[in-house]
């Protein structure tokens, strides 16, 4: 989760100099360079997938890869990395709300409390925006775009619940990454011709490689191995590291100004995550998002 939190800061740095669709396409290209050979080696070929499985994975790629990345990076151009990190950490709560609405799951007290705290956390960082830029209407729009990314990720997770019973994690992660790359490809290619790959500096290439190799691949592998040895509820609690990592790195690396609204909002979100961790199976809400963040 510390790695996933760092992706917000890396995204903030890269998107300031490289177009959004080009960042998304290159990040997935790096990830596919690792995932595709790994899948072919371990599975001895690409497993055959049924139409239903492909449809579900396609929806996951569109929501959790294409929409999530586009909305998140677009939002990071307008808001602070600290605020974005807190907003993205509400994914378990939003996923819980969608599970109630779409999957007809029961709305328990713990789930309702977790969702309510997440809402309070988002309101805290938007109502009490810091005076220094980005602030005001620009920051609010940025936070709304980031929250749109959260909703997209939550849909990705709901689809993941359907796919998990039929498709192995590595197969799902690789297929979704490849489909996501293909969705980005026409837009990324157009931006590459206009922007020029030669315009990307060495530091940005390093950041993009980190985004693809470490955030997309390594974080998924570590999360999957962790879920194999600890209960899902324990894993869900550790998603609280995401906003902490994002906020601390935004202060240390980007030099963003400290804001009490970040502390209040982050505290509410962490409290919501702890409440959601008491729900059986809630760890899947947070774990499903690792491959794409």
Q: Express each pLDDT in 88-142 by its tens digit.
A: 777 777 777 777 777 676 777 777 777 777 777 767 766 555 544 555 568 888 8
Region 70-76 average pLDDT: 92
Token pair belonging to 3: 């790695």
pLDDT category of residue 26 using cuts at 50, 70 and 90: very high
Cβ proximity of 85 and 152 under 8 Å: no
Q: CA 47 to CA 171: how far, in whole Å?
A: 8
Whole-angstrom Cα distance, residue 21 to residue 26? 9
By 3-state DSSP, what share of the chain in percent is helix, strand and coil, each rounded to 5?
80, 0, 20
Q: What is the mean pLDDT of the chain?
A: 78
Peptide bond into 219 cis (omega under 30): no
Q: Residue 283 pLDDT > 50, yes or no? A: no
pLDDT reported for residue 132: 46
> Mind listing the pLDDT tens digit for each residue in 257-277?
667 776 777 777 777 777 766
Do 255 and 17 form a contact (C-beta atoms < 8 A)? Answer: no
Specify the pLDDT at position 282. Answer: 44
pLDDT of residue 289: 42
Which pair of tokens denotes residue 248?
């601390």
> What is the percentage of the chain residues whose pLDDT exceeds 70?
77
Task: Give yes or no for a contact between 60 and 71, defined as CB atoms under 8 angstroms apart.
Answer: no
- The residue among 211, 274, 255, 285 whose CA lies nearest residue 82 is 255
d(CA 244, CA 224): 21
Q: Between 12 and 258, whose confidence is greater? A: 12
Least confident of 53-62, 83-92, 140-149: 83-92
- Is the separation of the CB atoms in 98 and 158 below 8 Å? yes
Please state whether the predicted TM-score (pTM) of the whole model is above 0.85: no
User: Residues with Cβ < 8 Å from 191, sequence gap 6 or more?
Assistant: 19, 21, 22
pLDDT digits (tens, 9 = 90+) for 197-243: 888 889 899 989 998 888 888 877 776 566 556 555 555 555 556 66
C-alpha closest to that of 170 among 34, 286, 68: 34
């Amino acid at each position: 989760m510390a790695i996933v939190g760092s992706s917000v800061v890396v995204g903030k740095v890269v998107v300031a100099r490289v177009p959004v669709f080009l960042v998304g396409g290159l990040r997935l290209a790096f990830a596919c360079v690792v995932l595709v050979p790994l899948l072919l080696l371990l599975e001895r070929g690409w497993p055959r997938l049924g139409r239903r499985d492909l449809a579900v994975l396609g929806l996951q790629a569109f929501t959790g890869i294409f929409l999530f990345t586009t909305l998140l990076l677009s939002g990071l151009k307008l808001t602070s990395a600290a605020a974005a990190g807190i907003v993205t950490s509400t994914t378990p709560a939003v996923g819980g709300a969608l599970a109630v609405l779409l999957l007809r799951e029961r709305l328990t007290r713990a789930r309702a409390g977790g969702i309510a705290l997440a809402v309070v956390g988002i309101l805290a960082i938007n109502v009490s925006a810091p005076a220094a830029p980005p602030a005001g209407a620009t920051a609010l729009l940025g936070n709304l775009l980031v929250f749109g990314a959260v909703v997209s990720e939550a849909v990705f997770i709901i689809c993941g619940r359907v796919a998990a019973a039929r498709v192995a994690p590595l197969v799902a992660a690789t297929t979704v990454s490849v489909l996501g790359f293909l969705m980005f490809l026409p837009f990324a290619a157009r931006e590459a011709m206009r922007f020029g790959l030669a315009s990307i500096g060495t530091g940005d290439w390093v950041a993009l490689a980190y985004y693809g190799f470490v955030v997309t691949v390594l974080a998924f592998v570590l999360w999957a191995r962790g879920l194999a040895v600890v209960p899902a509820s324990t894993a869900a609690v550790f998603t609280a590291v995401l906003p902490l990592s994002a906020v601390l790195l935004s202060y240390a690396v980007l030099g963003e100004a400290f804001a009490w609204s970040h502390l209040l909002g982050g505290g509410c979100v962490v409290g919501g995550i702890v409440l959601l961790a008491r729900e059986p199976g809630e760890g899947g809400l947070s774990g499903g998002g690792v491959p794409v963040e």
